[in-house]
């Protein structure tokens, strides 16, 4: 994928809009049931995706090869599965725990992959 950093940046700012809008709505309705959803959209979406984008820009070697593309898709698919699963779970749907657990584990794996990418690109003999 060309410019994995651009894609992460675009998704990060989009997540920021959605996450902050949910924060505004929670404040307006005084219903904080979905506060953890708001926190995860902002922290895994806006903050983490922007950080991935900035690292890929600051360390161009990290953006080389196929691993960054795998990191991007694993991260995005797990994020998009985790957010609605978490919302359903918090609204009382206990069966949502299965996709929630799977997508959370996948999100963690994408972080491990990112760590491998960063170590490979920054390791000095």
Kindly list the residues in this chain that would bind ligand HEM in the complex (CB under 6 A). 20, 23-24, 26-27, 32, 35-36, 38-39, 42-43, 46-47
Which residue lies nearer to ligand HEM by CB, 19 or 68? Answer: 19
Which residue lies nearer to ligand HEM by CB, 27 or 60? Answer: 27
Minimum distance, C-beta of residue 27 to ligand HEM, in the bound complex (Å) = 4
Minimum distance, C-beta of residue 51 to ligand HEM, in the bound complex (Å) = 11
Minimum distance, C-beta of residue 40 to ligand HEM, in the bound complex (Å) = 8
Q: Which DSSP string do the residues of the chain spell out, in sequence order?
A: ---HHHHHHHHHHHHHHHHHHHHHHHHHHT--TTHHHHHHIIIIIIIHHHHHHHHHHH-GGGG-SSHHHHHHHHHHHHHHHHHHHHHHHHTT-GGGHHHHHHHHHHHHHHHHHHHHHHHHHH---
Minimum distance, C-beta of residue 25 to ligand HEM, in the bound complex (Å) = 8
Which residue lies nearer to ligand HEM by CB, 47 or 54? Answer: 47
């Amino acid at each position: 994928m060309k410019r994995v950093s651009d894609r992460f940046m675009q998704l990060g700012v989009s997540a920021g809009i959605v996450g902050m809008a949910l924060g505004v709505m929670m404040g307006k309705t005084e219903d904080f049931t979905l506060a953890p959803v708001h926190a995860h959209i902002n922290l895994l979406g806006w903050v983490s995706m922007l950080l991935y984008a900035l690292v890929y820009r600051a360390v161009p070697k990290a953006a080389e090869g196929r691993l960054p593309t795998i990191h991007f898709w694993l991260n995005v698919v797990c994020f998009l599965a985790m957010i609605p699963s978490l919302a359903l779970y918090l609204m009382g749907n206990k069966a949502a725990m299965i996709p929630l657990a799977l997508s959370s584990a996948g999100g963690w794996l994408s972080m491990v992959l990112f760590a491998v990418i960063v170590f490979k690109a920054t390791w000095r003999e």
